[in-house]
Amino acid sequence: MSRTVRNASLREALQHHYRTVVWDWNGTLLNDVDVSIAATNMLLREHGLPLLKKKRYQEVFDFPVKDYYARIGFDFSKYPFEIPAKQFMANYKALSVQAHLNEEAVSTLNCIRNMGCQQLMLSAMEDTLLKKMIADYGIDPYLDNVFGIADDFANTKVYLGKRMVLQLNIDPRYTLMVGDTLHDAEVATACGFDCVLFSGGHFLRKRLESSGRKVIDSLGELVKG
């Protein structure tokens, strides 16, 4: 846990220290956990594999997702990873209309904007779909830039984070990343950001706590005194 996050309230740190907030999308601003589980279970059912309940999903979901797929039963000696990955994305896109923004997402984005912080999106979702979803949910006015990956395979976003830092000339010392997975903590470490993890997404709280990063249970905790 960084000294800044540890020694001041998050609101104070956002007002007086941080200049940039880097948001994750899936599970953090967007509540798509149930949609992801439903899309995964459609895929598992089609391949004759055991279905996932929510707690089990939050225990095993991880990045890179190829390893997670292997963990839930896919045998890539029989077919390439890209086949179920594309099937999952087709299922997800069909079900994604059922997803919704997490509670306090818009009010938190608005509050942080009013504090004067730049807000960016860094996601392992394919870039075109990511930007469409952000526009559909009406939060694009709060975001100064959006970075998604080039394919549907959700391997890693470390390289994307580093590219973002260089492209936008971000000072990592004054940057806070907010995400819902251990991969977000890994990205923050690789890029030199501080990090806060949200327990309402794709990982169980106890997994997030293992990172040593501050864990919040609601997005509003970022801006409350």
pLDDT, residue 150, reads 80
Residue 129 is predicted with a pLDDT of 94
Q: How confident is the model at residue 225 (pLDDT cuts 50, 70, 90)?
A: low
What confidence score (pLDDT) does residue 214 get? Answer: 96
Per-residue pLDDT tens digits for 22-74? 999 999 999 999 999 999 999 999 999 999 999 999 999 999 899 999 999 99
pLDDT tens by residue, 131-171:
999 999 999 999 999 999 886 555 678 999 999 999 999 99
**Within a 10 A sphere around the Cβ of 97, how many other Cβ atoms?**
9
- The pTM is what? 0.94
Domain boundaries, the chain: 3-31+101-222, 33-98
CB atoms within 10 A of CB 131: 18
What is the per-residue pLDDT for 136? 96
Calculate the alpha carbon distances from 190 to 9, 12, 200 in Å. 24, 25, 24
Summarize pLDDT for 189-220 with one digit per residue, the tens.
999 999 999 999 999 999 999 999 999 999 99
Q: 3-31+101-222: CATH homologous superfamily?
A: HAD superfamily/HAD-like (3.40.50.1000)
Burial of 51 (0-12, 13-18, 19+ CB in 10 A): middle
The share of the chain scoring above pLDDT 90, in percent, equals 90
Whether 3 shows a pLDDT value over 70: the answer reads no
pLDDT at residue 35, as a whole number: 98
Q: What are phi and psi of 211, to 5 degrees?
A: -75, -20
pLDDT, tens digit (0-9, with 9 covering 90-100), for 7-23: 568 999 999 999 999 99
Q: Is 175 left (phi over 0), alpha (psi -120 to 50) or beta?
A: beta
In whole angstroms, what is the distance from residue 215 CA to residue 209 CA?
7
> Phi, psi at residue 102, to the nearest 5°?
-65, 150
Phi-psi map region of 185: left, alpha, beta (phi>0 left; psi -120 to 50 alpha): alpha
DSSP classification of residue 192? T
Q: What angle do CA 113, 102, 27 make, to 5 degrees?
A: 100
